[in-house]
Amino acid sequence: MRKTILIAVVGTLLALSWGSNAWGVSEAGVLFLRLPAGARAAGMGEAFIAISDDATATHWNPAGLGRYPLSSEWLEFHPGPGYKIISIALKKNDLPEKNYQVYDIWAITPTDLLYWNGEEWKDHQVYLTSEDETLGDLVHKLFLEFEEERIDQMAYQVASANNLISKDSLVRIREKINQSVEEGYQNKEKLNNLFEAFLQAWDSCLVNQRNLKKLTEDFESSLGDGKLNPQELDNISMILETGIGKSLEPEIKIPYRTIFTDTLTCIASQEEQIWVGTKKGLFGYDGKAWRTQSTKDGMFSDLINQVNVNKEGVVWVGTDVGIGQFDGKRWYFITPSGLNDYYVTDMVVIRNDDIWITTRSDLAHFDGMNWLSYVKYNVKTGDNLEKIARSFLGTENPREIEEAVKSIKKYNSMKSEELNPDQEIKLPFNLAIKGTLTTLAVGKDGEIWIGGTKGVKKFADQKWTTFGYRIYTAMEGDSVEKVASKLLRTNDAERVEKFSQDIMAYNKLSNNQLEPGQKIYVYQNAAGSRILTICLGKGDEVLVGTEFGTLRFTGKNWSRYYHSGLEKAESTKILQKDGEMWIASPDKIVIYAHAKRELTFMHANLLPELASDLYYEYLSYVHYMKGWGTIGGNFTFLSYGEIVQTGESPVPIGTFMAYEGALSLSYGTQFNPNLAVGLSGKVIFSHLSDVGAGAEKGRGTGTSFALDAGVLYRTPFRRLTLASALTNLGPNISYIDAPQSDPLPRNIAVGFAYRIFDTPYNKLTFLGELNKQLVGLKESFGTEFSEAIRNVGMEYWYGTFVALRSGYIYDKEGDIRTFTFGAGLQYNMFRFDFAYIPASERHVLGNTMRFSMTARF
């Protein structure tokens, strides 16, 4: 609703801007409002409304506040049909960016490894071959494989990826050709020999792909009558004979799946390495070659469930028999002790002496020496085992508390329930575990979050907190089935039966009947469903991926992510880095590109050769508010310097300072993925004199207010953006009285921005813009249009380091025709911009330089 109202207001203002005589009949006042903000825009011929991607958007087009990077944006990347993503990892690259693009995305499916290169998904690497290199040599070099049988298997997979048709299809073509050969064809044996050689060339990636394609096409077209004549057979022989090359193609595709022999289970990244765990070993890839680790290399098990790389670069794996450490040369395995289960489902390696793991039914911590699957509790005065169990488990279920008391006594070898103050007892973590554990997260303050088939739990301050369930107090005559039917609001026998079984298992009930007043826990929301991943964000924020959607916990409340379908989609992995977020679901990767705050300042001496105290100042700041949009503000100030005051005679009687200023507040938001809208409101103050002129009453000061509105539209043509902005729409400003008021410099602008090329290291944008002042419109539309100011500009960026800009301003009515030039230099979070307007007899502000500085953080 908020966005609908905003776009209605913007649309109305833009529509009204095309009115004719409503804008006044005199020349506009407070023209300082039309001075270009920011040296960046000034260097591009003042064509900027279709970009508006920095803090000066509050001046040019407030809709820019609703677009990334000033506003957060959700991006989607689909790997395509046939791929089901189960996990992702991020690997830092060398791109000159300060956002999510500095991380490459690597994803695994049960059978494939995928890589997002910023433009498309790749399931292979491209290998540049050398002279006389064979496919076998290539496989041995890339995969460090020595067994001939395995090399042949890998070579076949590589050949399948590089040949246009499969070998089976080629064999079927040969069989059909043999069946279609007419009796008496003299070159049948030669044809068979050529086909055999062609098949061997297919195996070795020596087939010319043009010939392979032509063979298929000629065969299909020639077999129309069911028989092949000698001429057609000879043509096929020629294709086969000339289609066998002597060396590999210059570029060969190497499918990542070539090295894997079983199901992929997990993935992690290192500085220069990607590690992939499978059911038959661990595989490392440095971007060039692969390295295999298995029981042959010292591992205890080939079944890898989890892989983790700590800050020191040490690789840790979780297996079905414990965890292992690889220092780059040798494997060291640590088998947890005191657990019911050693099948590791997740692990968090903080340091080599600070490791947390979950197995299917246990939680344990390794301190460098020992495994602890319990927390130590010092008994306080007034404590008893029932009270301790209730607090530790965070439950009101009497049966669960009763069983926990028995387990605590047994675990601590206690003969009675009597406790002494300061007595130390051990409370096993698994007392609180229900179902099968699947995921784990550890907070900076020591909070432990676990997820499993029965929801998510948190352990902090020596007690567990359960989410996704609520307490139900049984009434007279209640049974588990009756409660299940009541809560589900259905009589569907199958659903009621399943829910009843879940209630009984979760509450450890031995029978179906409930006693009045008995408290049981029942499923409440998705936080109690099967948990797939947990990611701890800033502060108290916790992100949880479930089988029923992505959840967000703020420390008090749970909510769903209603973006990109995440409220319903399974989230298999959630990662956060540098304020950005990556969410993996089976059919896509969703990125939350976090908005950047910006502060910009500009100073310009407008006529340095005539007056040193005639200068222009501009300050702007923008800030994104999650869930609301982006707000911004700017302060504009123009000093006319010290002016000599005279009376009726030219004799000076004093001096005064003349100046004008405006304070603006802006708001922008994304209406949909392609459309952003924005509004600005400003207060204007003009001080041109301390007193009135002659006998006129009043002072030479005036105030007014104005509105700006704008839209930005990302067209279906991916690199083209259209924009429109209406600025300074408001009442006339009056200094003496209303009849002598001056209209504001109301203006409408329409423009476009087109990215000629857009790569990480080279970006070139071309801009065009029309500006029409909406003051004193009396002529025909064609005449008024011809008087519009034309602005064009170009901006080139090398990476994010250096920018070069140029532009041209053509103002027929104002008799201005001038080029502009500019440059930018970015270092870390700071950008310094410079613009120069050459000297011109037609441009009063010619031969001036403008400087601005922007900080993005």
What pLDDT was estimated at residue 759?
Answer: 87
| b/e sequence 238-268, b meaning 16+ C-beta within 10 Å | ebbeebbeeebeeebebbbbbbbeeebbbbb
**Domain map (residue ranges) of the chain:** 2-71+595-642+652-856, 128-254, 469-524
Q: Which residues of the chain have pLDDT under 50?
A: 1, 7-26
Contact 708, 748 (CB under 8 A): no
Contact 494, 488 (CB under 8 A): no
Q: Which of 856, 857, 849, 847 is nearest to 823 (CA)?
A: 849
Contact 732, 743 (CB under 8 A): yes
In which residue are the tokens 């990077």 written? 69
SS3 (DSSP) at 346: strand
What pLDDT was estimated at residue 13?
Answer: 45
The class level of CATH for 469-524 reads alpha beta
Q: Which of 775, 712, 705 is nearest to 747 (CA)?
A: 775
Q: What angle do CA 364, 370, 372 make, to 5 degrees?
A: 30
What pLDDT was estimated at residue 816?
Answer: 85
The residue count for the chain: 857
CA distance 27 to 29: 7
Contact 752, 21 (CB under 8 A): no
Q: 326: which strand partners? A: 315, 331
What pLDDT was estimated at residue 614?
Answer: 87
CA distance 805 to 797: 9
What pLDDT was estimated at residue 633?
Answer: 97
Structural tokens at position 718: 């991916």
What pLDDT was estimated at residue 16?
Answer: 41
**Per residue, what are the HEC states of 545-604?**
EECCEEEEECCCCEEECCCCCCCCCCCCEEEEECCEEEEEECCEEEEEECCCCEEEEEEE
Contact 682, 663 (CB under 8 A): yes
Give the model confidence (pLDDT) of 179-226 as tens digits. 888 777 888 889 899 999 999 999 999 999 999 899 888 888 877 666
Task: Please give the model's pTM, rounded to 2 decimal places.
Answer: 0.87
Superfamily of domain 2-71+595-642+652-856: monomeric porin ompg (2.40.160.40)
Q: Which amino acid is at 104?
A: D
What pLDDT was estimated at residue 18?
Answer: 38
Contact 650, 676 (CB under 8 A): no
What pLDDT was estimated at residue 23?
Answer: 32
Q: Which of 709, 706, 708, 702 is nearest to 730 (CA)?
A: 706
CA 376 → CA 204, 429, 461, 513, 778, distances in Å? Answer: 64, 11, 11, 37, 86
Give the model confidence (pLDDT) of 785-807 as tens digits. 788 999 999 999 998 899 999 99
Same fold, 2-71+595-642+652-856 and 469-524: no
Cis peptide before 428 (omega within 30 of 0): no
Structural tokens at position 443: 């907070």
